[in-house]
Structure 1
Amino acid sequence: MTANVSNFYYGAVTPVAAYLMACLGAGLGLRCTTRSLRRPQRRAGWLALGAVAIGCGIWTMHFIAMIGFSVQGALVGYDTTKTILSLAVAILVVSGGVFLVGYRGASPATLATAGTVTGLGVAAMHYLGMAAIHTNGTLHYHTLTVVMSVAIAIVAATAALWAAVSIHALWASLGASLVMGVAVTGMHYTGMAAVSVHLTGASAGATSSASLLSFLLVMLAGPFIVLVVAAVVVMFDPDMMLGDDNWDGAEPTAALADAPYLRQ
């Protein structure tokens, strides 16, 4: 029997919160990448922090959205190992894309490669997180919708990486993060639209709604703290206080010498 599936068990609360977390991760990633270009001597550290922020933002968005996921007539639970592994995948693949454009620039070939790898990694994180689900049924996916979600992930990742090395003004970065939040959240809900659940029988791994909510909140605590720490680091960085409107006037020699593609 095919069960009724909902992604909005708590109404608009979970999609809005998920969107905000996606925006936070994207915004911090953009600012960290900007810092890496202005401070070549600390480039690796800023890129690493940006990758962690984006990865945690995407992962947190996914599992906040999953709080609203429910299957009528079935209990839902998660495998802890696969859930944590999906976080590791998100951070690792985003790191690959961010470091690639951070050191190689925003040429079309580099962006296409980094965007594709990162997009596939984001999709892998999403579906690995879905594979962690335990329920008294089996999950099935509509192939075309899955392909659409992967395509959205690749386009969103490519756009995010382009923005990371091309947009430097504070307000422009904030606007870009809002757009990226729409793209990343849209990828998630497109992927969820592909899901159907066929009830089979009892599942030992399924838990009550209260237990599931507690589990997800515990899982979300760590990445959320990381995002808060990253936000504090970015906010108290001297460049953030000075602003980015005079990008070309701030450390032009070091930045442009180490990142010649910025002159294009």
Structure 2
Amino acid sequence: MTATVSNFYYGAVTLIAAYLMACLGAGLGLRCTTRSLRRPQRRTGWLALGAVSIGCGIWTMHFIAMIGFSVQGALVHYDMTKTLLSLVVAIAVVAVGVFLVGYRGASPLNLATAGTVTGLGVAVMHYVGMAAIHTNGTIGYDAPTVILSVVIAVAAATAALWAAVSIHTLWASLGASLVMGVAVTGMHYTGMAAVSVHLTGVTETAQSSTDLLSFLLVMLAGPLTVLLISAVIVMFDPDMMLNEDSWDGTSPAVLQGTGPDNRVRQASRSV
């Protein structure tokens, strides 16, 4: 028997909260990448913090959205190992993309490579998280919808990485993070639209249990704490007090000390 599946058991609350987490992660990642370009001597640290922020933001978005997931006639449980594995995957693949564009620039080939790797990784994170679900039934997927979700993930990742090295002002970063939130959340709900559940047994409980909600909230505590710490670091960084418009036109190559303008300035100082 095919069960009725819902992604909005608690209404729009989980959708809005998931979207806000995706925006927060994207926004912090953009600000960290901006600082890595401004401070090449600390580039590795800022890029790592950016990757962790984006990865935790995406993962938190996913599992906040999953709080609203319910299967009529079945209880839903999660395997802790696979749930944590999906978090590791999210951070790792985002780190690959962020470090590629952070150190090698946003050339079309490099951006396409980093965006594809990161997007596929985000999709893997999503479906590893889905594989952690245990219920009294079999979960199936509509292949065309799954493919569409992967395409959205790759496009969103590519756009996010381009924005990370191309957008520097605070307000532009905020706008980009809002757009990225739509793309990442859209990828999640597109993937969830592909889900169907065929029940092999029926339970009288037709909604998520309190134990499930408690489990997800405990799992979310760690990434949410990381995002809070990241936000504090970004907010209290001295660069927040500076006028960033003064260097918006500066390319990453110049900021990294490899551009022609930088060599001219160095030559001038040596004369």
- Relative to the length of structure 2, the TM-score reads 0.91
Alignment-derived partner of residue 143 in structure 2: 143
* SS of corresponding position for 1:3: coil
Q: 1:209 to 1:243 in 2, by over 3 A?
A: farther
Structure 1 stretches (4+) deviating beyond 2 angstroms? none
Matched to 1:209, the amino acid is: S
Identity %, equivalent residues: 81
Q: Distance in 2 between matches of 1:184 and 1:259?
A: 34
1:209 Cα deviation after fit:
1.2
Quick check: 1:170–1:243 contact (8 Å CA) kept in 2?
no
Alignment-derived partner of residue 242 in structure 1: 242
Alignment-derived partner of residue 163 in structure 2: 163
The residue correspondences of 1:74-153 to structure 2 (distance < 5 A) are 74-153=74-153
Matched to 2:141, the amino acid is: Y
Query: What CA RMSD, in Å, does the superposition of the two structures yield over aligned residues?
Result: 2.1
Alignment-derived partner of residue 187 in structure 2: 187
Alignment-derived partner of residue 219 in structure 1: 219
- Relative to the length of structure 1, the TM-score reads 0.94
Deviations 1:188-212 (A, max 9, x none): 0000000000000279xxx961000
Matched to 1:22, the amino acid is: A
1:125 Cα deviation after fit:
0.2
* SS of corresponding position for 2:157: helix
Structure 1 residue runs without a partner (length 5+): none
Greater Cα radius of gyration, structure 1 or 2 = 2
Alignment-derived partner of residue 28 in structure 1: 28
1:242 Cα deviation after fit:
1.3
Count how many residue pairs are aligned between Structure 1 and Structure 2.
Answer: 258
Alignment-derived partner of residue 265 in structure 2: none
* SS of corresponding position for 1:63: helix
1:243 Cα deviation after fit:
3.7
Q: Distance in 2 between matches of 1:74 and 1:45?
A: 45
Quick check: 2:141–2:195 contact (8 Å CA) kept in 1?
yes
Deviations 1:93-151 (A, max 9, x none): 00000000000000000000000000000000000000000000010000000000000
* SS of corresponding position for 2:184: helix
* SS of corresponding position for 1:65: helix
